[in-house]
Structure 1
Amino acid sequence: MALLQSTKKMAKQGGFTLVEMVTVILILGILIVGVSSFVIFGTRIFVESSSIDQVLSQSRFAVERMTRDIRNAVPNSVRLNEANSGAFQCIELLPIESSSSYLNLPIYPDAAASTGTIIDNGLSVNSGQFAIVYPLANASIGGVNDIYQASRNKRFEVQSTSTTANEMTLTFTGAVQFTEQSTIKRIYFANQPISYCFESLAGVPDVKLYRYSDYGYIPDQPAPSGMGTGVLMAENISNSLLLEPAIKVTEQNLMTNSIVHLEPRFSVNGETFKYQHQVQVTNVP
Protein backbone atom coordinates (compact mmCIF):
# COMPACT_ATOMS: atom_id res chain seq x y z
CA MET A 1 0.00 0.00 0.00
CA ALA A 2 2.83 2.36 0.93
CA LEU A 3 4.64 1.52 -2.33
CA LEU A 4 1.56 2.40 -4.39
CA GLN A 5 1.17 5.80 -2.71
CA SER A 6 4.85 6.60 -3.30
CA THR A 7 4.49 5.78 -7.00
CA LYS A 8 1.44 8.03 -7.36
CA LYS A 9 3.27 10.87 -5.55
CA MET A 10 6.25 10.61 -7.91
CA ALA A 11 3.92 10.64 -10.87
CA LYS A 12 2.32 13.88 -9.66
CA GLN A 13 5.76 15.56 -9.20
CA GLY A 14 7.02 14.70 -12.75
CA GLY A 15 8.55 17.50 -15.03
CA PHE A 16 8.09 18.42 -18.72
CA THR A 17 8.83 15.89 -21.35
CA LEU A 18 11.48 16.48 -24.01
CA VAL A 19 8.81 16.97 -26.68
CA GLU A 20 7.10 19.64 -24.61
CA MET A 21 10.37 21.51 -24.00
CA VAL A 22 11.28 21.47 -27.70
CA THR A 23 7.79 22.71 -28.60
CA VAL A 24 8.04 25.60 -26.15
CA ILE A 25 11.51 26.53 -27.41
CA LEU A 26 10.27 26.55 -31.00
CA ILE A 27 7.28 28.72 -30.13
CA LEU A 28 9.45 31.18 -28.18
CA GLY A 29 11.95 31.28 -31.05
CA ILE A 30 9.22 32.11 -33.54
CA LEU A 31 7.89 34.86 -31.25
CA ILE A 32 11.37 36.36 -30.72
CA VAL A 33 12.12 36.35 -34.45
CA GLY A 34 8.79 38.02 -35.17
CA VAL A 35 9.20 40.67 -32.49
CA SER A 36 12.84 41.37 -33.38
CA SER A 37 11.98 41.70 -37.08
CA PHE A 38 9.28 44.21 -36.18
CA VAL A 39 11.69 46.18 -33.96
CA ILE A 40 14.45 46.13 -36.58
CA PHE A 41 12.04 47.22 -39.32
CA GLY A 42 10.71 50.06 -37.16
CA THR A 43 14.22 51.15 -36.21
CA ARG A 44 15.28 51.14 -39.87
CA ILE A 45 12.29 53.29 -40.82
CA PHE A 46 13.12 55.73 -38.00
CA VAL A 47 16.80 55.96 -38.99
CA GLU A 48 16.00 56.48 -42.69
CA SER A 49 13.31 59.06 -41.89
CA SER A 50 15.74 60.89 -39.60
CA SER A 51 18.41 60.91 -42.34
CA ILE A 52 15.96 62.28 -44.90
CA ASP A 53 14.69 64.91 -42.47
CA GLN A 54 18.25 65.97 -41.67
CA VAL A 55 19.18 66.39 -45.34
CA LEU A 56 15.93 68.27 -46.02
CA SER A 57 16.56 70.60 -43.10
CA GLN A 58 20.14 71.40 -44.05
CA SER A 59 19.24 71.86 -47.71
CA ARG A 60 16.42 74.29 -46.83
CA PHE A 61 18.75 76.21 -44.52
CA ALA A 62 21.50 76.44 -47.16
CA VAL A 63 19.14 77.56 -49.95
CA GLU A 64 17.43 80.08 -47.67
CA ARG A 65 20.76 81.52 -46.51
CA MET A 66 21.99 81.85 -50.08
CA THR A 67 18.69 83.44 -51.10
CA ARG A 68 18.91 86.12 -48.41
CA ASP A 69 22.50 87.00 -49.24
CA ILE A 70 21.85 87.14 -52.99
CA ARG A 71 18.80 89.38 -52.59
CA ASN A 72 20.82 91.66 -50.35
CA ALA A 73 23.79 91.91 -52.72
CA VAL A 74 25.28 95.14 -53.99
CA PRO A 75 24.14 95.66 -57.60
CA ASN A 76 26.40 93.99 -60.17
CA SER A 77 28.47 92.24 -57.51
CA VAL A 78 27.27 88.71 -58.37
CA ARG A 79 29.70 86.64 -60.43
CA LEU A 80 30.14 82.93 -61.11
CA ASN A 81 33.30 80.84 -61.29
CA GLU A 82 33.20 77.27 -62.60
CA ALA A 83 35.99 74.72 -62.96
CA ASN A 84 36.16 73.10 -66.39
CA SER A 85 36.66 69.74 -64.66
CA GLY A 86 33.49 70.12 -62.61
CA ALA A 87 35.51 70.25 -59.39
CA PHE A 88 33.68 73.32 -58.08
CA GLN A 89 31.14 76.04 -58.73
CA CYS A 90 31.43 79.30 -56.80
CA ILE A 91 29.09 82.28 -56.69
CA GLU A 92 30.57 85.46 -55.24
CA LEU A 93 28.70 88.56 -54.08
CA LEU A 94 29.02 91.59 -51.83
CA PRO A 95 26.33 91.83 -49.11
CA ILE A 96 24.92 95.28 -48.34
CA GLU A 97 25.40 96.43 -44.75
CA SER A 98 23.43 99.66 -45.18
CA SER A 99 22.46 102.21 -47.83
CA SER A 100 21.33 105.81 -48.13
CA SER A 101 21.21 108.78 -50.49
CA TYR A 102 24.17 111.12 -50.76
CA LEU A 103 24.04 114.90 -50.67
CA ASN A 104 27.58 115.80 -51.61
CA LEU A 105 30.40 113.50 -52.70
CA PRO A 106 33.62 114.02 -54.65
CA ILE A 107 32.43 112.64 -58.00
CA TYR A 108 34.09 113.34 -61.34
CA PRO A 109 34.45 116.04 -62.70
CA ASP A 110 34.58 117.50 -59.16
CA ALA A 111 37.97 117.53 -57.52
CA ALA A 112 39.06 114.71 -55.24
CA ALA A 113 38.30 115.18 -51.55
CA SER A 114 38.51 113.22 -48.32
CA THR A 115 34.95 113.91 -47.08
CA GLY A 116 31.35 113.71 -48.27
CA THR A 117 27.85 114.01 -46.80
CA ILE A 118 24.89 111.65 -46.94
CA ILE A 119 21.39 111.54 -45.44
CA ASP A 120 21.42 110.00 -41.98
CA ASN A 121 18.35 107.77 -41.96
CA GLY A 122 19.37 105.86 -38.86
CA LEU A 123 21.97 103.76 -40.65
CA SER A 124 25.15 102.49 -39.02
CA VAL A 125 28.39 103.03 -40.92
CA ASN A 126 31.52 101.65 -39.29
CA SER A 127 35.17 102.37 -39.83
CA GLY A 128 36.65 100.02 -42.39
CA GLN A 129 33.47 99.67 -44.42
CA PHE A 130 33.48 100.63 -48.09
CA ALA A 131 31.30 103.30 -49.67
CA ILE A 132 30.12 102.29 -53.17
CA VAL A 133 28.52 104.54 -55.77
CA TYR A 134 27.02 103.46 -59.09
CA PRO A 135 28.65 100.02 -59.56
CA LEU A 136 28.25 98.67 -63.09
CA ALA A 137 29.40 95.48 -64.76
CA ASN A 138 32.40 96.11 -66.99
CA ALA A 139 33.43 92.71 -68.26
CA SER A 140 35.05 94.32 -71.30
CA ILE A 141 37.50 96.22 -69.09
CA GLY A 142 40.07 93.78 -67.84
CA GLY A 143 37.54 90.99 -67.53
CA VAL A 144 36.33 92.22 -64.12
CA ASN A 145 33.64 94.57 -62.85
CA ASP A 146 33.55 97.76 -60.80
CA ILE A 147 33.13 96.14 -57.41
CA TYR A 148 36.28 94.03 -57.30
CA GLN A 149 38.77 96.27 -59.11
CA ALA A 150 39.83 99.24 -56.99
CA SER A 151 41.19 101.16 -59.98
CA ARG A 152 37.62 101.61 -61.26
CA ASN A 153 37.12 104.13 -58.39
CA LYS A 154 33.63 102.95 -57.46
CA ARG A 155 34.41 101.96 -53.84
CA PHE A 156 36.45 103.71 -51.16
CA GLU A 157 37.15 102.84 -47.54
CA VAL A 158 35.49 104.90 -44.79
CA GLN A 159 37.81 105.99 -41.99
CA SER A 160 35.28 107.67 -39.69
CA THR A 161 31.83 109.30 -39.57
CA SER A 162 30.16 112.17 -37.73
CA THR A 163 26.48 113.13 -37.57
CA THR A 164 24.85 116.57 -37.45
CA ALA A 165 21.06 116.87 -37.53
CA ASN A 166 19.95 114.53 -40.34
CA GLU A 167 23.26 114.53 -42.17
CA MET A 168 26.24 112.20 -41.82
CA THR A 169 29.73 113.27 -42.84
CA LEU A 170 31.97 110.54 -44.20
CA THR A 171 35.72 110.82 -43.85
CA PHE A 172 37.64 108.56 -46.21
CA THR A 173 41.13 107.14 -45.71
CA GLY A 174 42.45 109.66 -48.27
CA ALA A 175 41.39 112.00 -51.05
CA VAL A 176 38.94 110.12 -53.29
CA GLN A 177 37.03 110.74 -56.50
CA PHE A 178 34.14 108.51 -57.53
CA THR A 179 33.89 107.86 -61.25
CA GLU A 180 30.18 108.43 -61.93
CA GLN A 181 27.05 109.89 -60.40
CA SER A 182 24.24 107.53 -59.42
CA THR A 183 21.03 108.41 -61.25
CA ILE A 184 19.13 108.22 -57.96
CA LYS A 185 22.04 109.42 -55.77
CA ARG A 186 22.26 106.04 -54.07
CA ILE A 187 25.25 105.04 -51.93
CA TYR A 188 25.88 101.55 -50.54
CA PHE A 189 28.06 100.44 -47.66
CA ALA A 190 29.61 96.99 -47.43
CA ASN A 191 32.41 95.07 -45.74
CA GLN A 192 33.95 92.23 -47.77
CA PRO A 193 32.68 89.80 -50.41
CA ILE A 194 31.46 86.30 -49.62
CA SER A 195 31.34 83.16 -51.75
CA TYR A 196 29.24 80.00 -51.79
CA CYS A 197 31.06 77.07 -53.38
CA PHE A 198 29.75 73.66 -54.37
CA GLU A 199 32.89 71.51 -54.20
CA SER A 200 33.56 67.99 -55.43
CA LEU A 201 36.45 66.87 -53.20
CA ALA A 202 38.82 64.04 -54.12
CA GLY A 203 37.87 60.77 -52.46
CA VAL A 204 34.47 62.08 -51.32
CA PRO A 205 31.42 60.52 -52.99
CA ASP A 206 29.21 63.60 -52.82
CA VAL A 207 29.47 67.37 -53.28
CA LYS A 208 29.63 69.72 -50.29
CA LEU A 209 28.57 73.36 -50.05
CA TYR A 210 30.91 75.79 -48.28
CA ARG A 211 30.62 79.50 -47.43
CA TYR A 212 33.77 81.65 -47.58
CA SER A 213 34.27 85.15 -46.17
CA ASP A 214 36.93 87.64 -45.03
CA TYR A 215 39.30 86.96 -47.92
CA GLY A 216 39.21 90.50 -49.35
CA TYR A 217 38.58 91.97 -52.80
CA ILE A 218 40.24 89.97 -55.56
CA PRO A 219 39.99 91.27 -59.18
CA ASP A 220 39.83 87.78 -60.73
CA GLN A 221 37.28 85.63 -58.97
CA PRO A 222 39.21 83.13 -56.83
CA ALA A 223 38.85 79.37 -56.60
CA PRO A 224 38.09 77.79 -53.19
CA SER A 225 41.81 77.22 -52.60
CA GLY A 226 42.38 80.99 -52.70
CA MET A 227 39.79 81.92 -50.07
CA GLY A 228 41.04 80.20 -46.93
CA THR A 229 38.86 77.86 -44.88
CA GLY A 230 35.16 77.71 -45.60
CA VAL A 231 32.21 76.91 -43.35
CA LEU A 232 30.32 73.72 -44.26
CA MET A 233 26.72 74.61 -45.13
CA ALA A 234 25.35 71.40 -46.66
CA GLU A 235 26.38 67.97 -47.90
CA ASN A 236 24.84 64.93 -49.60
CA ILE A 237 24.71 66.87 -52.88
CA SER A 238 24.83 64.73 -56.00
CA ASN A 239 28.27 64.60 -57.59
CA SER A 240 27.34 65.85 -61.04
CA LEU A 241 28.41 69.51 -61.25
CA LEU A 242 29.80 69.09 -64.74
CA LEU A 243 26.62 67.56 -66.18
CA GLU A 244 24.14 69.27 -63.88
CA PRO A 245 25.39 72.62 -62.51
CA ALA A 246 24.07 73.65 -59.11
CA ILE A 247 24.18 77.39 -59.96
CA LYS A 248 23.31 79.33 -63.08
CA VAL A 249 23.32 83.12 -63.49
CA THR A 250 21.26 85.11 -65.96
CA GLU A 251 23.02 88.41 -66.47
CA GLN A 252 21.10 91.66 -66.12
CA ASN A 253 19.62 93.38 -69.14
CA LEU A 254 17.46 96.42 -69.86
CA MET A 255 14.37 94.59 -68.62
CA THR A 256 15.53 92.89 -65.41
CA ASN A 257 18.32 92.59 -62.88
CA SER A 258 20.56 89.54 -62.52
CA ILE A 259 18.76 86.29 -61.72
CA VAL A 260 20.50 83.45 -59.91
CA HIS A 261 19.15 79.94 -60.50
CA LEU A 262 19.83 77.56 -57.60
CA GLU A 263 19.41 73.96 -58.77
CA PRO A 264 21.34 71.61 -56.44
CA ARG A 265 20.31 67.95 -56.33
CA PHE A 266 20.49 66.20 -52.96
CA SER A 267 20.61 62.45 -52.45
CA VAL A 268 19.95 60.32 -49.36
CA ASN A 269 19.16 56.62 -48.89
CA GLY A 270 19.07 56.05 -52.64
CA GLU A 271 16.53 58.83 -53.23
CA THR A 272 17.18 62.25 -54.80
CA PHE A 273 15.38 65.58 -54.82
CA LYS A 274 16.26 68.73 -56.74
CA TYR A 275 15.68 72.41 -56.00
CA GLN A 276 14.64 74.74 -58.80
CA HIS A 277 14.81 78.12 -57.14
CA GLN A 278 15.24 81.54 -58.77
CA VAL A 279 16.58 84.55 -56.87
CA GLN A 280 16.59 88.06 -58.30
CA VAL A 281 19.06 90.70 -57.19
CA THR A 282 16.55 93.39 -56.28
CA ASN A 283 18.91 96.33 -55.73
CA VAL A 284 19.81 98.82 -58.46
CA PRO A 285 22.72 101.26 -58.77
Structure 2
Amino acid sequence: MRSLRRSKSSGFTLVEMVMVIIILGVMVLGVSSFVIMGTRIFVESTTVDQVLSQSRFVMERMTREIRNAVPNSLRVTKTPVSFQCIEFVPIQASASYLDLPISPEPADSAGTVMTPSLGINKDHRMLVYPLRPADIYSATPTATIGRLFDVKDYSSDSNTVTFDRAVRFSEASPRRRFFMVDNAVSYCFFANGNIRRYASYNMFNVTQPTATQMGGDAKSALMAENIVIKDGNWPIFYTPGTLINNAVVQLTPQFEVNGQAFQYQHQVQVINVP
Protein backbone atom coordinates (compact mmCIF):
# COMPACT_ATOMS: atom_id res chain seq x y z
CA MET A 1 0.00 0.00 0.00
CA ARG A 2 2.82 2.41 0.82
CA SER A 3 4.53 1.87 -2.56
CA LEU A 4 1.25 2.37 -4.42
CA ARG A 5 0.55 5.69 -2.68
CA ARG A 6 4.04 6.97 -3.45
CA SER A 7 3.68 6.20 -7.16
CA LYS A 8 0.35 8.02 -7.33
CA SER A 9 1.66 11.18 -5.63
CA SER A 10 4.80 11.62 -7.79
CA GLY A 11 4.92 13.43 -11.25
CA PHE A 12 2.26 15.40 -13.23
CA THR A 13 -0.75 14.28 -15.11
CA LEU A 14 -1.24 15.07 -18.81
CA VAL A 15 -4.03 17.51 -18.00
CA GLU A 16 -1.79 19.43 -15.59
CA MET A 17 1.00 19.67 -18.20
CA VAL A 18 -1.40 20.94 -20.84
CA MET A 19 -2.78 23.53 -18.44
CA VAL A 20 0.72 24.74 -17.57
CA ILE A 21 1.65 25.02 -21.26
CA ILE A 22 -1.52 26.99 -22.00
CA ILE A 23 -0.94 29.35 -19.05
CA LEU A 24 2.71 29.91 -20.05
CA GLY A 25 1.66 30.53 -23.66
CA VAL A 26 -0.86 33.15 -22.59
CA MET A 27 1.75 34.83 -20.39
CA VAL A 28 4.37 34.85 -23.17
CA LEU A 29 1.83 36.23 -25.63
CA GLY A 30 0.90 39.01 -23.24
CA VAL A 31 4.49 39.91 -22.47
CA SER A 32 5.51 39.81 -26.15
CA SER A 33 2.66 42.16 -27.11
CA PHE A 34 3.95 44.71 -24.58
CA VAL A 35 7.50 44.28 -25.91
CA ILE A 36 6.37 44.69 -29.51
CA MET A 37 4.28 47.75 -28.65
CA GLY A 38 7.15 49.30 -26.71
CA THR A 39 9.58 48.62 -29.56
CA ARG A 40 7.18 50.15 -32.09
CA ILE A 41 6.71 53.27 -29.95
CA PHE A 42 10.47 53.61 -29.56
CA VAL A 43 11.12 53.24 -33.32
CA GLU A 44 8.39 55.75 -34.23
CA SER A 45 9.52 58.30 -31.65
CA THR A 46 13.12 57.91 -32.80
CA THR A 47 12.08 58.49 -36.42
CA VAL A 48 10.09 61.59 -35.50
CA ASP A 49 12.98 62.92 -33.42
CA GLN A 50 15.39 62.35 -36.31
CA VAL A 51 13.19 64.28 -38.75
CA LEU A 52 12.80 67.09 -36.20
CA SER A 53 16.55 67.30 -35.75
CA GLN A 54 17.15 67.37 -39.51
CA SER A 55 14.54 70.06 -40.06
CA ARG A 56 15.93 72.25 -37.28
CA PHE A 57 19.44 71.84 -38.61
CA VAL A 58 18.59 72.79 -42.18
CA MET A 59 16.46 75.76 -41.08
CA GLU A 60 19.22 77.06 -38.81
CA ARG A 61 21.91 76.65 -41.47
CA MET A 62 19.78 78.24 -44.19
CA THR A 63 19.01 81.18 -41.90
CA ARG A 64 22.66 81.81 -41.10
CA GLU A 65 23.79 81.55 -44.71
CA ILE A 66 21.01 83.71 -46.12
CA ARG A 67 21.74 86.42 -43.55
CA ASN A 68 25.34 86.39 -44.74
CA ALA A 69 24.36 86.76 -48.40
CA VAL A 70 25.60 89.62 -50.57
CA PRO A 71 22.87 92.28 -50.82
CA ASN A 72 20.68 91.86 -53.91
CA SER A 73 22.19 88.46 -54.74
CA LEU A 74 19.12 86.38 -53.88
CA ARG A 75 16.93 84.84 -56.53
CA VAL A 76 14.22 82.17 -56.24
CA THR A 77 12.85 79.73 -58.81
CA LYS A 78 10.05 81.63 -60.56
CA THR A 79 7.79 78.78 -61.70
CA PRO A 80 8.60 75.68 -59.64
CA VAL A 81 7.27 72.36 -60.89
CA SER A 82 9.23 69.53 -59.31
CA PHE A 83 11.60 71.67 -57.21
CA GLN A 84 12.13 75.19 -55.87
CA CYS A 85 15.58 76.69 -55.26
CA ILE A 86 16.88 79.80 -53.57
CA GLU A 87 20.28 80.98 -54.80
CA PHE A 88 22.59 83.55 -53.22
CA VAL A 89 26.26 84.54 -52.98
CA PRO A 90 27.81 84.29 -49.49
CA ILE A 91 30.05 87.10 -48.24
CA GLN A 92 33.57 85.75 -47.74
CA ALA A 93 34.91 89.05 -46.41
CA SER A 94 33.85 92.70 -46.38
CA ALA A 95 35.27 96.10 -45.45
CA SER A 96 35.52 99.69 -46.70
CA TYR A 97 37.63 100.87 -49.60
CA LEU A 98 39.71 104.04 -49.45
CA ASP A 99 40.52 104.49 -53.13
CA LEU A 100 39.37 102.35 -56.05
CA PRO A 101 39.17 103.11 -59.79
CA ILE A 102 35.47 103.95 -60.10
CA SER A 103 33.69 105.55 -63.02
CA PRO A 104 34.08 108.30 -64.19
CA GLU A 105 37.68 108.07 -62.99
CA PRO A 106 40.19 106.43 -65.33
CA ALA A 107 40.88 102.71 -65.14
CA ASP A 108 43.71 101.54 -62.89
CA SER A 109 45.26 98.22 -61.89
CA ALA A 110 45.45 98.96 -58.16
CA GLY A 111 43.43 100.36 -55.28
CA THR A 112 43.59 100.97 -51.55
CA VAL A 113 41.21 99.26 -49.16
CA MET A 114 40.90 98.52 -45.45
CA THR A 115 41.82 94.97 -44.55
CA PRO A 116 38.77 92.86 -43.58
CA SER A 117 38.92 90.93 -40.32
CA LEU A 118 39.05 87.69 -42.36
CA GLY A 119 41.70 89.06 -44.70
CA ILE A 120 41.59 88.98 -48.50
CA ASN A 121 41.92 85.71 -50.38
CA LYS A 122 43.41 86.19 -53.85
CA ASP A 123 41.23 83.34 -55.14
CA HIS A 124 38.12 85.41 -54.40
CA ARG A 125 36.67 88.27 -56.44
CA MET A 126 36.03 91.89 -55.45
CA LEU A 127 32.48 93.17 -55.78
CA VAL A 128 31.35 96.80 -55.41
CA TYR A 129 27.77 98.08 -55.22
CA PRO A 130 25.59 95.28 -56.68
CA LEU A 131 22.09 96.63 -57.23
CA ARG A 132 20.47 93.55 -58.79
CA PRO A 133 21.28 89.86 -59.27
CA ALA A 134 22.40 90.49 -62.85
CA ASP A 135 25.27 92.64 -61.55
CA ILE A 136 26.67 89.44 -60.06
CA TYR A 137 25.48 86.46 -62.09
CA SER A 138 25.89 88.15 -65.48
CA ALA A 139 29.22 89.76 -64.61
CA THR A 140 32.45 89.25 -66.54
CA PRO A 141 35.33 89.24 -64.04
CA THR A 142 37.88 89.40 -66.87
CA ALA A 143 36.39 92.60 -68.35
CA THR A 144 37.80 96.09 -67.85
CA ILE A 145 34.61 97.75 -66.58
CA GLY A 146 31.97 96.29 -64.28
CA ARG A 147 31.17 95.61 -60.64
CA LEU A 148 33.01 92.31 -60.14
CA PHE A 149 36.70 91.65 -60.83
CA ASP A 150 39.35 89.03 -60.17
CA VAL A 151 42.07 89.95 -57.68
CA LYS A 152 45.71 89.35 -58.58
CA ASP A 153 47.41 90.26 -55.30
CA TYR A 154 46.95 92.04 -52.00
CA SER A 155 49.45 93.60 -49.61
CA SER A 156 48.29 93.95 -46.01
CA ASP A 157 51.27 96.21 -45.29
CA SER A 158 50.19 98.92 -47.73
CA ASN A 159 46.49 97.90 -47.93
CA THR A 160 46.91 97.74 -51.70
CA VAL A 161 44.83 95.43 -53.85
CA THR A 162 46.16 94.69 -57.34
CA PHE A 163 44.28 93.55 -60.44
CA ASP A 164 45.91 91.82 -63.43
CA ARG A 165 44.86 94.69 -65.72
CA ALA A 166 43.52 98.22 -65.60
CA VAL A 167 39.90 98.07 -64.45
CA ARG A 168 37.15 100.50 -63.52
CA PHE A 169 34.16 99.82 -61.29
CA SER A 170 30.84 100.96 -62.71
CA GLU A 171 29.51 102.82 -59.68
CA ALA A 172 30.64 103.89 -56.23
CA SER A 173 29.08 102.48 -53.09
CA PRO A 174 27.43 105.15 -50.92
CA ARG A 175 28.99 103.42 -47.90
CA ARG A 176 32.30 102.85 -49.71
CA ARG A 177 31.89 99.15 -49.11
CA PHE A 178 33.33 96.20 -51.01
CA PHE A 179 32.69 92.46 -50.78
CA MET A 180 34.96 89.50 -51.42
CA VAL A 181 32.96 86.66 -52.97
CA ASP A 182 33.62 83.20 -54.33
CA ASN A 183 30.86 80.88 -55.57
CA ALA A 184 27.10 80.87 -55.25
CA VAL A 185 25.09 78.54 -53.00
CA SER A 186 21.63 77.09 -53.61
CA TYR A 187 19.12 75.33 -51.39
CA CYS A 188 16.57 73.27 -53.31
CA PHE A 189 13.29 71.81 -52.04
CA PHE A 190 12.14 68.83 -54.11
CA ALA A 191 8.67 67.39 -54.52
CA ASN A 192 10.09 63.94 -53.65
CA GLY A 193 10.68 65.14 -50.07
CA ASN A 194 14.39 66.03 -50.13
CA ILE A 195 16.22 69.27 -49.35
CA ARG A 196 19.64 69.58 -50.99
CA ARG A 197 22.41 72.17 -50.79
CA TYR A 198 24.44 72.95 -53.92
CA ALA A 199 27.80 74.72 -53.99
CA SER A 200 31.03 74.95 -56.04
CA TYR A 201 29.22 75.28 -59.37
CA ASN A 202 29.56 77.95 -62.04
CA MET A 203 27.83 81.02 -60.64
CA PHE A 204 27.82 83.04 -63.86
CA ASN A 205 24.39 82.12 -65.22
CA VAL A 206 22.11 84.76 -66.72
CA THR A 207 19.09 82.72 -65.58
CA GLN A 208 18.93 80.79 -62.35
CA PRO A 209 20.26 77.26 -62.98
CA THR A 210 18.25 74.11 -62.37
CA ALA A 211 19.38 71.34 -60.05
CA THR A 212 20.65 69.37 -63.06
CA GLN A 213 22.67 72.33 -64.33
CA MET A 214 24.25 72.75 -60.90
CA GLY A 215 25.54 69.17 -61.07
CA GLY A 216 22.63 67.09 -59.82
CA ASP A 217 22.85 64.89 -56.75
CA ALA A 218 26.54 64.18 -57.42
CA LYS A 219 27.47 67.77 -56.47
CA SER A 220 25.02 68.31 -53.64
CA ALA A 221 24.57 67.45 -49.99
CA LEU A 222 21.34 65.98 -48.66
CA MET A 223 20.27 68.26 -45.81
CA ALA A 224 16.86 66.86 -44.80
CA GLU A 225 14.04 64.57 -45.90
CA ASN A 226 10.29 64.10 -45.44
CA ILE A 227 9.28 67.55 -46.69
CA VAL A 228 5.78 67.70 -48.15
CA ILE A 229 4.60 69.95 -51.00
CA LYS A 230 0.81 70.16 -51.07
CA ASP A 231 -1.33 71.86 -53.69
CA GLY A 232 1.67 73.63 -55.21
CA ASN A 233 2.41 75.54 -51.98
CA TRP A 234 6.18 75.80 -52.21
CA PRO A 235 8.03 76.80 -49.03
CA ILE A 236 10.11 79.79 -50.23
CA PHE A 237 8.69 83.27 -50.73
CA TYR A 238 11.06 86.16 -51.43
CA THR A 239 10.26 89.85 -51.06
CA PRO A 240 13.00 92.03 -52.60
CA GLY A 241 14.29 94.96 -50.63
CA THR A 242 13.31 98.57 -51.21
CA LEU A 243 14.86 101.90 -50.32
CA ILE A 244 13.34 101.73 -46.84
CA ASN A 245 13.00 97.98 -46.18
CA ASN A 246 15.39 95.06 -46.17
CA ALA A 247 14.75 92.01 -48.31
CA VAL A 248 12.79 89.25 -46.56
CA VAL A 249 12.85 85.51 -47.19
CA GLN A 250 9.79 83.67 -45.87
CA LEU A 251 10.39 79.94 -45.22
CA THR A 252 7.34 77.72 -44.59
CA PRO A 253 8.44 74.09 -45.13
CA GLN A 254 6.11 71.33 -43.91
CA PHE A 255 7.43 67.95 -42.77
CA GLU A 256 5.50 64.72 -42.27
CA VAL A 257 6.57 61.46 -40.60
CA ASN A 258 4.52 58.55 -39.21
CA GLY A 259 1.30 60.43 -39.80
CA GLN A 260 2.49 63.50 -37.87
CA ALA A 261 2.93 66.86 -39.61
CA PHE A 262 4.67 70.04 -38.48
CA GLN A 263 5.33 73.27 -40.35
CA TYR A 264 7.80 76.11 -39.85
CA GLN A 265 6.91 79.80 -40.16
CA HIS A 266 10.24 81.55 -40.42
CA GLN A 267 11.37 84.96 -41.68
CA VAL A 268 14.92 85.89 -42.59
CA GLN A 269 15.91 89.52 -43.19
CA VAL A 270 18.72 90.22 -45.64
CA ILE A 271 20.62 93.50 -45.45
CA ASN A 272 19.80 95.51 -48.54
CA VAL A 273 22.52 98.18 -48.39
CA PRO A 274 25.45 97.30 -50.63
TM-score normalized by the length of structure 2: 0.92
- Aligned-pair CA distance for 1:123: 3.2
Aligned-partner Cα distance in 2 for 1:17–1:66: 73
Gaps of 5+ in 1: 138-143, 201-205
Which residue does 2:35 correspond to in 1? 39
Q: Does 1:92 align with 2:81?
A: no
Aligned-partner Cα distance in 1 for 2:110–2:213: 34
The runs of at least 4 aligned residues of structure 1 exceeding 6 Å deviation read: none
SS of 2:152's partner is strand
Aligned-partner Cα distance in 2 for 1:125–1:106: 18
Which residue does 1:224 correspond to in 2? 211
Which residue does 2:112 correspond to in 1? 117
- What amino acid is aligned across from residue 270 of structure 1 in structure 2? G
SS of 2:271's partner is coil
Aligned-partner Cα distance in 2 for 1:120–1:127: 13
Per-residue CA distance 1:215-266 (angstroms, 9 max, x = gap): 12222110101001211111110133x6211111011112211100111110
Q: Does 1:181 align with 2:163?
A: no
CA-atom RMSD, angstroms? Answer: 1.5
SS of 2:95's partner is strand
Task: Pick the structure with greater CA Rg.
Answer: 1
Q: Does 1:235 align with 2:225?
A: yes
Q: Does 1:269 align with 2:262?
A: no
Aligned-partner Cα distance in 1 for 2:116–2:93: 10
Is the contact between residue 197 and residue 222 of structure 2 (CA under 8 Å) also seen in structure 1?
Answer: yes
- What amino acid is aligned across from residue 159 of structure 1 in structure 2? K
Aligned-partner Cα distance in 1 for 2:131–2:155: 29
Q: Does 1:214 align with 2:204?
A: no
Q: Which moved more, 1:18-27 or 1:90-99?
A: 18-27
Which residue does 1:158 correspond to in 2? 151
1:21 to 13, 17, 21: 17
Aligned-partner Cα distance in 1 for 2:26–2:6: 36
Give the length in aligned residue pairs.
266
Is the contact between residue 114 and residue 175 of structure 1 (CA under 8 Å) also seen in structure 2?
Answer: yes
1:247 to 236, 253, 258: 236
Aligned pair in 2 of structure 1 residues 95, 129: CA closer, same or farther (>3 Å)? Answer: same
Q: Which moved more, 1:150-159 or 1:60-69?
A: 150-159
- Aligned-pair CA distance for 1:83: 4.1
Aligned-partner Cα distance in 1 for 2:41–2:264: 25
SS of 1:127's partner is coil
Is the contact between residue 82 and residue 88 of structure 1 (CA under 8 Å) also seen in structure 2?
Answer: no
Is the contact between residue 73 and residue 283 of structure 1 (CA under 8 Å) also seen in structure 2?
Answer: no
